[in-house]
Amino acid sequence: MADLEAARPSLEWLLVALGYRLADSWSTGLSWELGATYVVVESGPDVRGEHHDRRAPGLNHVAFHAGSRADVEDLAREAQSQGWSLLFEDRHPYAGGRDHYAAYLENATGFEVELVASPAEP
């Protein structure tokens, strides 16, 4: 992250909402855990550039399982009051294809996440 402090509130809200807990913090980073999975966000002297560009080479976005379709909608709605914008609004919730129910969100620092719903019951 180019600006960890700017990204922290929206990322922390989302990760906690998904069930992660803050596991560690240090002067240039944070880590959250959920079971055997962990997410690390760092800043500091090794970061190049002034901002994140999800369209540049490298990581485009991170996808998270987010529960049911109703859970995805609840999170996407609340995320918009927590510093996230809904991407591909004209194609939501099927921006990833007609068989893929998800919300694509971008925070103020340009970082994108995908909240994926569990497959619908037949």
* Residuewise pLDDT in 10s, the chain (122 residues): 788 888 899 999 999 999 999 999 998 899 999 999 999 988 877 777 677 777 776 677 899 999 999 999 999 999 999 999 999 999 999 999 999 999 999 999 888 999 999 987 65
DSSP state of 15: H
**Domain with 90 in it: what CATH number?**
3.10.180.10
Domain assignment of residue 51, yes or no: no
Beta bridge partners of 31: 24, 40
**Domain membership of residue 111 as a residue range:** 4-45+59-116
* pTM metric for this prediction: 0.86
**Quick one: how far is CA 17 from the chain centroid?**
11
- Number of structural domains in the chain: 1
Domain assignment of residue 92, yes or no: yes
